[in-house]
Structure 1
Amino acid sequence: IKVAEKHYEKDQESKTSFTAEPLSEIHFGQNYTDSSVSKVFLNGLIYIGLIILALATLNFINLETAQAISRAKEVGIRKTLGGRRVELILQFLTETYLLVILATGVGLVLVEFLRTLFISYLPDGFAMDFFAIQNVVFYLVFPILLSIVSGIYPSMILSGYDPQRALKGEKLAHQGFSFGVFLRKNLTVLQFSSSIAFIILVLVLNYQIRFVSSQPLGFDKGAIMYSSLPFMSDPDKMVQLQDRLNLNSAVKGSSLSGSLVSSTSLWTSDSYIPVDTTEKQVYVQVMNVDSAFISVNGIPLLAGKSQLIQTDEILVNKNFLKEAGITDPEEGLNLEIRFGGGQKKIVGVFDNFHSRTLREEIQPMIMTTNPKFFQSVTVKLASGQNLAAAKQELETIYKSIYPYETAEFKFLDEQIAQFYAEDLRIRNVLGAACVLAILISIMGLFALSSHTIAQRSKEISIRKVLGASLAQILGLISKEYFLLVGVSFLLAVFPAYYFLRDWLDGFEYRVEMPYFLFVLSGLGVMLICLLIVGLHSYIAAQTNPAKVLKDE
């Protein structure tokens, strides 16, 4: 700030402020759009990765504890032969560590595949240095920590079996409260909560993105191409380029302007509207355009003309007249306002259009003309054109006027689509996380339901002998899973709602919170749950009771 005060000449009529930015943050800044990376998006990837890892860890604990009974005899024999509990714990932790090491190896193989798959999400030139010292340390240390976190509880359960009961093949049925059963059910609840939350997020993000993509923008974005002009180019050369473009048979019309009809560019200023004997200050968005801008971009003209011939002539939008208290566009014509250090006359009124993203409301706007500061050329192509051929012709004309400049014409609709590129990335990443979370949850539920039904196999057989129908048995087994999914839904709704509320609040034009998508997500997970549990229950119900009850 002191440097600015020393070297920057102050202007009494305007205020200029300077802010410092850490060098390490420049890459994430919005002023470097060609190479900037969203820090929010990168952090989101980290958080999603941690969530998936946590779900996988919980699922491993769930599977190991649910299947522990299958190793009960092994534990009983080891203890009978003198094996100590500490040795058993170390054995099971070692087995877990080997699984984690194997998973780490598979993960390293998948890294390059995923890097190629998501290359558009990553900075240019991004590559993994697998043998960097910090990565090697990670390969060695992280599997140990993960093995301890995920393996300690299952190893304690396995090593704690009573040898006598284990060798007799008892199923260790518990009377009253069982911490193991309680833990498995709660881990399953957490897994399904994450799955439901991810599903809700993906559905609502997609719903809002489709909404903003389908909204009328107030101008014609079809078959419009644009290119940048050299900085501070000679106005005569710009007009020469425009004339050459208009002579081409593929071109319906062309326009010169300071910015595109819809972009991230923003020029704002103050204007003063006469009200009785005073003036009303109105904060406006300003666009520097030529006389063809309105017609080339298909912006509806409500009154007056679109040509800006004199420097004191301006065009305004309907929202500007609203600020002036004028409802009829014709009444706004020839109104003189103070703007840009002088008096300006309104010669035309155009309809409101979205000059920026739908995250922002349409501001009062003034269009003025200053050819020295035109920076873009926009071309409206005639109907029925070969777009690739037309693009090449436009670039050839551009090079004939500016032989030392890089000529590249792009489509306006692709530029507008970039407004929501990060939202699409977030949706796609959440979609991938959603699939993983659902798969992990299904595996956890599969283990829990198979363990539960195995524990209740005799009960199912006795009920079948006593005349219970298949529907009654399925209902008996399934009802507790209704409760589990219901609790999961309640746990998922609140964090998903608060995240989506903040995200939707970032859009000036947005859908109302689509609660029906919340319900659909819960019902979808409920259906998956019932299919898995129903399949297990059906198999158990079809088993011959005599085979199950032969020892009774």
Structure 2
Amino acid sequence: MYMNYLKIAWRNLKGSKLFSVINILGLSIGIAVTIVLLLYIHAELSFDKMYTNQDRIHRVLLHTEDGVAKEIWTGIPSALSPALQNEIPEIEYASRLLKHDYGGNAAIIKANQKHFSEQKLYWADAALFKIFDIEFIVGQSTTILNDPNTVVLSESTAQKYFGNDNPLGKLITLNNSEQLEVKGVFKDFPSNSSLSCDIIVSFTSLQYHLNPSWGNASFETYCLLKPNTFVDDIQQSIQQIVDKNIPKDEQWYSFTLQPLERVHLYSASYKDNYSSKIGDINEIQNLSFLAILILLIACINYMNLITAHSQKKAKDIGVNKTLGATSRTLIFRFYVETALLTCIAMIIGIVFTIVMLPFFNTVFQSTLDIAMLGNVYFIFGMIVIWLIVTLIAGSYPAIFLSKASTGMMLKPSFRMGKNTILVRKGLVILQFAASAVLIVSVIIMHKQLQFMQNKELGFDPENVVAIPITAIQTPQKQHTLVKAFESLATISHVTKAQGFPSVDVSGNSLSRTQDFATYIDIRSNAVDPNFVDVLKLNMLEGKRLSENKQDADTIKEMVLNAKAVKQLGYDIKEVVGKKVYMNNRIFYVVGVVNDFNFSSLHIPIGAYAFHNGTRESKRYLLVRTTGSNVSSSIQQLEATFKKIAPDAIFEFEFLNKRLQNLYTYEQKIAQIYVMFCGLAILIACLGLFGLAAFTAEQRTKEIGIRKVLGASVTRITQMLSLDFVKLVLIAIIIAFPIAILIMNNWLEKFAYKTDIGLHVFLSAGFMILTIALITISSHAIKAAMQNPVKSLKTE
């Protein structure tokens, strides 16, 4: 019996080639999209699962409590980590991580007489290797990093530095100053690890080890809890440690523990993340919804087309019922036919996935592995998807056709009832409403990205080049380099700076009074006076920092932004000349600049200060070129740099490119939406194409009579298209409020956002109607131009 059902199903598929091709193509595209999205989601959810004790590993988070800005930081003071391990019995191990230059500049490494630039150099406590499963190829993890000036390298880094030679005991030089002895080589971190280091230097090499501070919150800290430990109890113990070391009125932060499993997907809004692999659980939920939506659109295609096609099957079903076939038997038969079609679509969909995956990885900079398709869980998942698609796609047609009256189905004039037509129309509306929501979402995403790229930032990032100078150790050589750059014809201004917009600088407290009775959070940047010209900031009041300020001079100057002046409680006109206090140092406010976006547009503008204090090192040269010949300017800068500092590596970064990189994740997600939105619309159009074909076929005689009575091709085309256009218009009306709700929620994560104007919906509506009309018109015009004599002969 089952083989007979399969034979009948195969014969039906072969007998209706257009129906079969449209359904298989629509389902296979839907399945391929779903597979790719599920692989991407699986990759995001798999982060940090490789560590044996991942359920006991936590990261310490800092919550600011000053009343000015409520933020969560991933960096904490260096003094907390040893206190955790020594004073809280429930914590087995704790380890600090400090990225080179606080996550700013790359480290310059000299090994085998060659120089290398390294972005992933960290200082860490030896306990790091007891918290995480880091496999060593050379060396013993139990004794590594106990001694100062020791280092371990990743396998790929050791190969890069020393080739096939044994690196143990060899020396490398950091930033032309510190010599480090190689004590081990570990396997490269997996691509789905939040922790990713190429070089790990012993924390005992740093001054922070000797003088741990409760103030400088720059250290990511991980701890391993003992089994069966309650996190709430530990957090209370941490607060007791804070109370013991910091007076209540000076506590501007508190701490919580974040499970390792939440580090990747739940840290998008946290400040100072060292990891470049930060995901977003909200986007994962959105992509999951998108996968389900696209699969549902493909299923709706099948349901619509088979109900439209059912008239051709009516006599066959009626005869079967007359011969004793039960509804149950017929339902099973229809499910077999659906299962066969979806099985073929599943196979083609997997082939599409294999073809699509390399392109997806290239465009979206992901590392999805084709080998996952052979995973037992993946195969099981594909079987589940096949069953779900079969049940959903085959449900309505199977029940409708099996329940229809035998007598009615045997009549030559059998037509589907009003309820069936209404359901079919409702499915078309649902399909295009989903497509409309996707189109509006993509337009608004693109509009927001364009808004962020074009927004006035309060400074001019164009033609500004940032050059790291940490490897140039002597101030005299740095000064020589500045003068040499200034003498170049293609360079207009040069300044040394601790950082620049998009690069984090020092976080401090600023107060009007020495007792810090009230204070504000502020970002402070040690710079030379030319910073105003390089960034093209607008001086609102006062003057820039003084030239030739001596390091021994106790009078330090500061230029505030307007936000900082407001938070301090001053008026811009009166603040110049006032004395302010930062880190127990006195500064005199000499000027005020306009507010500018020194961070991403996800957060509002905060308080910012430029100063000429000497405690913070100036890590960059900011160079404004004339813009006349950028490539020539870079070549001249490089040649000058290598002449003056031959032992350092010349690296540069355009400030405008750096700012664009702040939105890399949003750009990638938007690209994913554009790609899969296009495929969803294609699937919907395939269904509409099939429905238009069947509608034209059903109304063949009507069209012939109308033509005989004088109806024009244009009039008949309008008549055939109008019903579908009405459905699309209803779908648009339903979709737009839903799209507004969804995208308003998405835009909430930006402090500065574009407006959702009427033109967005007009553009989306016009686009959807145009696509629908093009899809429908091919069949409508063909039917309208057919010879009426042939139409009237049609049975």
- The Cα of 1:18 is off from its aligned counterpart by 1.0
Are 1:414 and 2:657 matched, yes or no? yes
**The one of 297, 302, 308 aligned to 1:55:** 297
**How big is each residue's C-alpha offset from its partner over 1:262-302, in whole Å with a ceiling of 9 and x where there is no partner?**
3466735343389xxx9986554433333343333333344
Are 1:97 and 2:339 matched, yes or no? yes
Q: How does 1:178-257 map to 2 (within 5 A)?
A: 178-226=418-466, 237=474, 240-241=477-478, 243-244=480-481, 246-248=483-485, 249=488, 254-257=494-497
Q: Counterpart of 2:429 in structure 1: which amino acid? A: V
Matches of 1:348 and 1:184, distance apart in 2: 70
- The Cα of 1:185 is off from its aligned counterpart by 0.4
Q: How does 1:519-538 map to 2 (within 5 A)?
A: 519-538=762-781
Provide the residue aligned with 2:502 in structure 1.
262
Q: Is the contact made by 1:285 and 1:364 (CA closer than 8 Å) also made in structure 2? A: yes
- Specify whether residues 26 and 532 from structure 1 end up closer, same or farther in structure 2 by C-alpha distance, changes over 3 A only: closer
Q: Is the contact made by 1:200 and 1:518 (CA closer than 8 Å) also made in structure 2? A: yes
Q: Is the contact made by 1:37 and 1:123 (CA closer than 8 Å) also made in structure 2? A: no
**The one of 415, 422, 429 aligned to 1:173:** 415
Q: Is the contact made by 2:441 and 2:743 (CA closer than 8 Å) also made in structure 1? A: yes
Q: Counterpart of 1:64 in structure 2: which amino acid? A: I
Provide the residue aligned with 1:304 in structure 2.
543
Q: How does 1:429-444 map to 2 (within 5 A)?
A: 429-444=672-687
Are 1:450 and 2:693 matched, yes or no? yes
- Specify whether residues 51 and 390 from structure 1 end up closer, same or farther in structure 2 by C-alpha distance, changes over 3 A only: farther
| TM-score, normalisation: structure 2 | 0.61
Matches of 1:265 and 1:353, distance apart in 2: 15
- Specify whether residues 407 and 247 from structure 1 end up closer, same or farther in structure 2 by C-alpha distance, changes over 3 A only: closer
- The Cα of 1:61 is off from its aligned counterpart by 0.9
- Specify whether residues 307 and 97 from structure 1 end up closer, same or farther in structure 2 by C-alpha distance, changes over 3 A only: farther
Q: How does 1:533-544 map to 2 (within 5 A)?
A: 533-544=776-787
**How big is each residue's C-alpha offset from its partner over 1:391-430, in whole Å with a ceiling of 9 and x where there is no partner?**
755885797455xxx7643322221002222222232222
**How big is each residue's C-alpha offset from its partner over 1:187-214, in whole Å with a ceiling of 9 and x where there is no partner?**
1001111111111111122222212211
- The Cα of 1:58 is off from its aligned counterpart by 0.9
**The one of 229, 234, 238 aligned to 1:4:** 238
| TM-score, normalisation: structure 1 | 0.84
Q: What secondary structure does 2:256 align onto?
A: coil
Q: What secondary structure does 2:499 align onto?
A: coil
- Specify whether residues 162 and 238 from structure 1 end up closer, same or farther in structure 2 by C-alpha distance, changes over 3 A only: farther
Q: Counterpart of 2:697 in structure 1: which amino acid? A: A
Q: What secondary structure does 1:502 align onto?
A: helix
- Specify whether residues 17 and 401 from structure 1 end up closer, same or farther in structure 2 by C-alpha distance, changes over 3 A only: farther
**The one of 7, 10, 23 aligned to 2:260:** 23
Q: Is the contact made by 1:256 and 1:374 (CA closer than 8 Å) also made in structure 2? A: no
Q: Is the contact made by 1:272 and 1:282 (CA closer than 8 Å) also made in structure 2? A: no
Q: Is the contact made by 1:211 and 1:511 (CA closer than 8 Å) also made in structure 2? A: yes
User: Which is strand-richer, 1 or 2?
Assistant: 2
Q: Is the contact made by 2:507 and 2:521 (CA closer than 8 Å) also made in structure 1? A: no
Provide the residue aligned with 1:271 in structure 2.
511
Long gaps (5+) in structure 1: none
Provide the residue aligned with 2:588 in structure 1.
345
Are 1:36 and 2:278 matched, yes or no? yes
- Specify whether residues 357 and 430 from structure 1 end up closer, same or farther in structure 2 by C-alpha distance, changes over 3 A only: same
Q: Counterpart of 2:420 in structure 1: which amino acid? A: G
Matches of 1:123 and 1:433, distance apart in 2: 16
Q: Is the contact made by 1:226 and 1:411 (CA closer than 8 Å) also made in structure 2? A: yes
Matches of 1:63 and 1:185, distance apart in 2: 11
Q: Is the contact made by 2:545 and 2:612 (CA closer than 8 Å) also made in structure 1? A: no
Q: What secondary structure does 1:348 align onto?
A: strand
Q: Compare 185-194 and 38-47 and name the one that shifted more.
A: 38-47
Higher relative contact order (CA 8 A, sep 6+): 1
Percent identity over the alignment is: 24
- Specify whether residues 111 and 511 from structure 1 end up closer, same or farther in structure 2 by C-alpha distance, changes over 3 A only: same
> How many residue pairs are counted as aligned between the two chains?
538
Matches of 2:283 and 2:505, distance apart in 1: 22
Are 1:326 and 2:564 matched, yes or no? no
Long gaps (5+) in structure 2: 1-234
Matches of 1:23 and 1:505, distance apart in 2: 26
Q: Is the contact made by 2:581 and 2:587 (CA closer than 8 Å) also made in structure 1? A: yes
Q: Counterpart of 1:181 in structure 2: which amino acid? A: I
Matches of 1:372 and 1:326, distance apart in 2: 29
Q: What secondary structure does 1:315 align onto?
A: strand
Q: Is the contact made by 2:557 and 2:613 (CA closer than 8 Å) also made in structure 1? A: no
Provide the residue aligned with 2:668 in structure 1.
425
